[in-house]
Amino acid sequence: MTVEQYNKSVDLYSDAVYRFILKNINQTDEAKDIVQDTFEKLWVRAADVSFEKVKSYLFSTAYHTMIDKIRKNKQISSVDEYGSLDPLHNEHYTDLGEILNEAIKQLPDVQRSVILLRDYEGYAYHEIADITGLSESQVKVYIYRGRLALKKYIGSIEVLI
């Protein structure tokens, strides 16, 4: 990868990588650090990464860097600790985006990551599997379980309207 291609990849993908990490950890400074670390790793390996595969490399590296930082800060938690998500409430509320963001924050880390990659960033199942290191069937299961939890959290659509 040339310097021009590196700069173009920064322009094209830095915002998307930042949004992905920020949605996962909800800490702006930490998200900025992870994005910076990701692009630093790309710079070091620029000769080994082709420009055609840079997007996948960036998201994969950012994901793994985020997981490493979470583990380092001992913020990782098991799926069992989450149990079931409590429904929000039964009164009428119209800000669906705010409710979805709150619901996504409540998901376990793996479910949140795969749902964000699939539904927010538009990756295919096999691409998510490559990024996260999970099998394609595990990705599908985590997405299914995450969506069920989101549906349970939100309740019926009539509540939101």
Residues 8-56 have pLDDT tens digits of 999 999 999 998 888 888 888 889 999 999 999 999 988 888 888 898 8
Write out pLDDT tens, residues 81-93.
444 455 544 455 4
Cα angle value 143/149/127 (rounded, 5°): 10
Q: State the pLDDT at residue 94.
A: 56
Rounded to whole angstroms, the Cα distance separating 130 from 89 reads: 37
Say which residues have a Cβ less than 8 Å from residue 35's Cβ, sequence separation at least 6: 14, 17, 18, 21, 62
Q: State the pLDDT at residue 68.
A: 83
Is pTM, for the whole model, over 0.75? Answer: no
The helix (H) or strand (E) run that includes residue 80 is helix 79-82
Q: State the pLDDT at residue 113.
A: 87
- What CA–CA distances, in Å, run from 39 to 30, 44, 50, 110? 14, 9, 14, 23
**Percent of the chain, pLDDT > 90?**
15
Fold of 79-161: Arc Repressor Mutant, subunit A (1.10.10)
Mean per-residue pLDDT of the chain? 81
The answer to whether domain 1-76 and domain 79-161 are alike in fold is no
Domain boundaries, the chain: 1-76, 79-161
Residue 47 backbone dihedrals phi, psi, to 5 degrees: -70, -25
Q: State the pLDDT at residue 27.
A: 85
Write out pLDDT tens, residues 73-126.
764 444 444 444 555 444 554 566 777 778 888 888 888 888 888 888 888 898
Q: Is it the case that residue 63 has pLDDT exceeding 60?
A: yes
The helix (H) or strand (E) run that includes residue 161 is none
What CATH number should be reported for the domain whose range is 1-76?
1.10.1740.10
Rounded to whole angstroms, the Cα distance separating 142 from 120 reads: 15
87: left (phi over 0), alpha (psi -120 to 50) or beta: beta
